[in-house]
Amino acid sequence: MATETHIASRIVCSMDPATGEVLRELPCASDADVFAAVQKGKSAQKKWDTIGVRDRIAVLRELQNQLHNKKSIVAEAITRETGKPFAEALTTEVLVVLDSARFLIENAFRLLSDEPLPHGNLAAKLKRGRLVREPYGVIGIISPWNYPFSIPATEALAALVAGNAVVLKPSEFTSLVALELQSLLHAAGVPASIFQVVVGNGATGAALVHSQIDKLVFTGSVSTGKRIAAVAAERLLPVVLELGGKDPMLVLDDADVDVASSGAVWGAFMNAGQTCLSVERCYVHRNLYEKFLQACVEKTKKLRVGNGMDSATDVGPMIHERQLRIVESHVEDAVSRGARLLTGGHRLAEVGQNFYQPTVLADVNHEMRIMREETFGPVLPVMPFDTDEEVIALANDSEYGLAASIWTRDNARGEKMARRIQAGTIMINDVVSCFGISEAPHGGVKSSGLGRTHGRFGLQEMVRLKYVDSDLIPEMKKVWWYGYGAIFARQMQAFIDSQFARSWPQRLRGALLSAGVLRSKRL
């Protein structure tokens, strides 16, 4: 039995969560395999960097072309491993990556180019400065199962175009999608040593964290993120951490109930609620509360739950039994504490073992787990509020701060309120789709993580910033070098007056008294 357990621990099994079919079994990369992959990337990275940004952009352009041609194949692979509807695989995964490539193709050269840095200090006017952006070396990426293509791909494309090598450790539940990404990148011209996938379980991820990578990008749970941060701190390894959310939806008293309820239903149930940006808390003004609940229930009951490969399916399965049990426990806790179960709340065993009914709960409160812990399932918990001040306090009453949405007919009101919500992204009259806006940074505050991915800020995470300063008169000794003395001190006082005194006469006097500073240098 011990031998069987040991062997099993070295195998990851890719399964279709809708049918339970085993798609493929793959061996786990050992610690030695992971360390070797990182070293291989280090050895090849300099050459990759040397080819220049324009040539790497050309590779991204070819990747974009390859992915466009294989969009249906890739989307089907995603659906097979995650269960999400084929249409969602196209929109939230394939389309997102195509547009991310578009953003980098259009902007990477400009954003990665040297940047002149003007000097405002008069003492530094005879210098020329510039900011130089250099790749870290090898970027390690640990990606989750809920978006197994768009999350690692958007991060990897930014890392690659910046001149880094990448070693990706995907979730053990979605290894095949990661290998599909690797195949696409290699076919587009990324050398095999520059983008590598190490398949495995948690031990494989731990090996990557302990390897000689130069930066780590991790997407996953808060608990795992904290452990990774602690290990990274031992050698000051830079990290980007995206650790999930408990995103609030605020429906104000002037909101369009029909539009807001449709947004809530989609935002709570797309990808079976297994989205870090999904609506996990919904607050509705009391004047709209019952009407909103009625609309949500009616729309939820119309959703078709089934296999994601069926074009009629709106909501697919959960990824596995363990996640389904978390959802069940949250719903049971809420109902036991007084929440009203308006629809759903049960497994759909007749459809398959991993299916759960889209569920709407009313009269929830912050004493319930479902309003405090990340549920990550197809549940929409709704709570009433009376004032803007109250709902802002409720929205901020969470350890998470990834995103939020505000629903109002008055955009100015929504934007003003958005400044008071503690989150990395606020959407007004929409939800979740911020992830697909390639120009927008993705990331949160509080326990939702550190750093950003996507857009120019995500690209900047993939480079080290270096300042280079050139003196324009190299033959001249600098006035701040040795040769201090009383005269030099008075001249420096006068020089400071010439720059920062509040009155112009004092500035002029300071300029005259400091004019002879060059003659005071003895060394």
Residue whose C-alpha is closest to residue 186's, from 72, 63, 71: 63
Residues in the chain: 523
List phi, psi (to 5°) of 14.
-90, 125
**Cβ proximity of 102 and 454 under 8 Å:** no
Q: Is 13 a catalytic residue?
A: no
Structure tokens at 114: 């040297």
Handedness of CA 488, 493, 497, 500 (dihedral sign): positive
CB within 8 Å of 111: residues ≥ 6 apart: 456, 459, 460
- Beta-bridge partner residues of 117: 129
Other beta carbons within 10 Å of 309? 17
d(CA 304, CA 316): 9
CA distance 12 to 170: 11
Q: Which position among 242, 280, 374, 461 bears the catalytic label?
A: 242
What are the residues facing 12 on neighbouring strands?
26
332 an active-site residue? Answer: no
Q: Are strands 281-285 and 340-343 parallel, antiparallel or unpaired?
A: unpaired
Name 161's bridge partners.
none
Cα–Cα distance for residue pair 317/18, rounded to 1 Å:
6
Which of the 8 DSSP states describes residue 447? T
| Among 28, 88, 276, 296, the one annotated catalytic | 276
The span from the CA of 395 to the CA of 312, in Å, is 35
CA 504 to CA 195: how far, in whole Å?
61
**Residues with active-site annotation:** 242, 276
